[in-house]
């Protein structure tokens, strides 16, 4: 492939800073050109923006990003028009990861990733790969977790920090996964990540062993993540902070909508779980579960202390297990499907001004907006749940915009 890297002045686009960096920009149109562009970026030390034209790019090997300040960007803002894929979603596929990132300030936007033996994208926290940004992408159909953040437990000082994942879709297109060992975002030892405005759907085990969470942050020093304004549809498990023996510290889970139908998956767990996750806040989420699991939110084990669970709207109880402690207040746990616009598509906006919900929430520091990023009332009282009720907004909102197209 013959191409020329053209220097352009970037104002924080590749660096994540407000300084100016000299970057090379290259446009590619074939899988061979894409692989060559990544290899060239590695050879030149990074600072490269790779623009990918519309088309399907079937790789014969992983795209290894080993240098900082690399961006892979679909030329169109339509993420369905640029597909970067491995050879198959199976345990014998040749391509392990579609992309593996072992350096800081990598950006991915406006593309679809699909088909891999392991993950669609792996962030190597053990190399201090910080500042990841993934925006406006579709991640679907990996044989294991769709997005993986790894780390080396023997070197916990090396972690992936300050990642951002927003406006993406994570899904299994067959409405069920290929095995139980799947998940959406599975992050080990990461710190200060933000996951917002995404849709996670059909992360379902095909058998009686539960799949992993749609969003899961765990393994010390995992800490201070924000998971907000996400829609989670028919996933075996929703959002998890920590795991037995592999905890998390702090963080916020707020303004998410989670729905699970009665006929989706053979086995399911709770929608939000704090598992050895002290000092965590879970507030203003709306959860409607039609499966058999008995509780909507659980906080587990004695190390889970000083948590706040407030203003959540659910149709199932909130449960403390194995000695977990915290403040649990202003939650409504007896919601009916008639309270919502359309539970079947996960539209858990309030259909009317429910008396036990509207204006009865507890003021929480940092709570300013709702699921739609609309302002919470600061005068008449905030509503319980992810939605701040508005008769105009709630009955006209095109909820299908949150569903995979």
CA distance 259 to 387: 14
Phi, psi of 314 (to 5 degrees): -140, 170
pLDDT in tens, 367-389: 999 999 999 976 689 999 999 99
> The pTM is what?
0.92
Q: Is the pLDDT of residue 19 over 90?
A: no
Q: What is the pLDDT of residue 14?
A: 42
Give yes or no for a contact between 370 and 393, defined as CB atoms under 8 angstroms apart: no
Give yes or no for a contact between 347 and 340, defined as CB atoms under 8 angstroms apart: yes
Q: Closest by alpha carbon to 188, among 212, 153, 228, 154?
A: 153
Q: What is the pLDDT of residue 21?
A: 41
Position with higher pLDDT, 38 vs 23: 38
Q: What is the pLDDT of residue 266?
A: 79
Give yes or no for a contact between 148 and 121, defined as CB atoms under 8 angstroms apart: yes
B/e letters for 384-398, b = 16+ CB within 10 Å, e = fewer, are: bbbbbbbeeebeebe
Q: Is the pLDDT of residue 229 over 60?
A: yes
pLDDT in tens, 150-165: 999 999 999 999 999 9
pLDDT in tens, 38-78: 999 999 999 999 999 999 999 999 999 999 999 999 999 99
Tell me what the pLDDT averaged over the chain comes to: 92
CA distance 253 to 262: 24
Q: What is the pLDDT of residue 393?
A: 56
Give yes or no for a contact between 44 and 6, defined as CB atoms under 8 angstroms apart: no
């Amino acid at each position: 492939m013959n191409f020329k890297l053209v220097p352009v002045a970037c104002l924080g686009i590749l660096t994540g800073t407000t300084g100016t960096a000299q970057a090379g920009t290259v446009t590619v149109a074939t899988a061979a050109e894409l692989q060559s562009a990544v290899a060239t970026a590695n050879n030149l030390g990074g600072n490269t923006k790779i623009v990918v034209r519309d088309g399907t790019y079937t790789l014969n090997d992983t795209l290894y990003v080993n240098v900082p300040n690399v961006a892979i960007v679909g030329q169109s803002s339509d993420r369905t028009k640029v597909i970067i894929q491995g050879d198959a979603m199976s345990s014998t596929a040749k391509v392990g990861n579609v992309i593996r990132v072992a350096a800081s300030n990598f950006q991915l936007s406006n593309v679809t990733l699909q088909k891999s033996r392991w993950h669609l994208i792996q962030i190597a926290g053990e190399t201090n790969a910080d500042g990841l940004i993934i925006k406006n992408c579709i991640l679907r159909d990996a044989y294991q977790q769709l997005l993986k953040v790894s780390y080396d437990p023997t070197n916990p000082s090396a972690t992936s920090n300050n990642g951002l994942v927003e406006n993406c879709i994570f899904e299994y297109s067959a409405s069920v996964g290929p095995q139980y060992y799947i998940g959406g975002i599975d992050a080990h030892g990461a710190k200060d990540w933000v996951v917002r405005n995404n849709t996670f759907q059909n992360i379902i085990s095909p058998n009686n062993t539960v799949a992993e969470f749609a969003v899961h942050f765990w393994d010390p020093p995992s800490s201070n993540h924000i998971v907000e304004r996400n829609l989670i549809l028919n996933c075996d498990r929703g959002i998890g902070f920590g795991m037995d023996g592999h905890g998390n510290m702090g963080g916020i889970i707020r303004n998410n909508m989670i729905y699970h139908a009665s006929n989706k998956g053979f086995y399911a767990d709770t929608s939000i779980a704090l598992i050895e996750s002290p000092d965590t806040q879970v507030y203003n989420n709306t959860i409607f579960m039609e499966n058999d699991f008995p509780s909507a939110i659980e906080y587990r084990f004695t190390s889970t202390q000083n948590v706040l669970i407030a203003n959540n709207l659910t149709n199932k109880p909130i449960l403390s297990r194995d000695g977990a402690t915290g403040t649990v207040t202003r939650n409504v746990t007896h919601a009916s499907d008639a309270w919502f616009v359309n539970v079947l598509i996960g539209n858990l906006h309030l259909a009317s001004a429910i008396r036990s919900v509207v204006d009865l929430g507890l003021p929480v520091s940092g709570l300013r907006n709702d699921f739609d990023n609309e302002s919470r009332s600061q005068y008449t009282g905030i509503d319980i749940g992810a939605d701040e009720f508005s008769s105009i907004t709630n009955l006209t909102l095109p909820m299908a915009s949150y569903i995979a197209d």
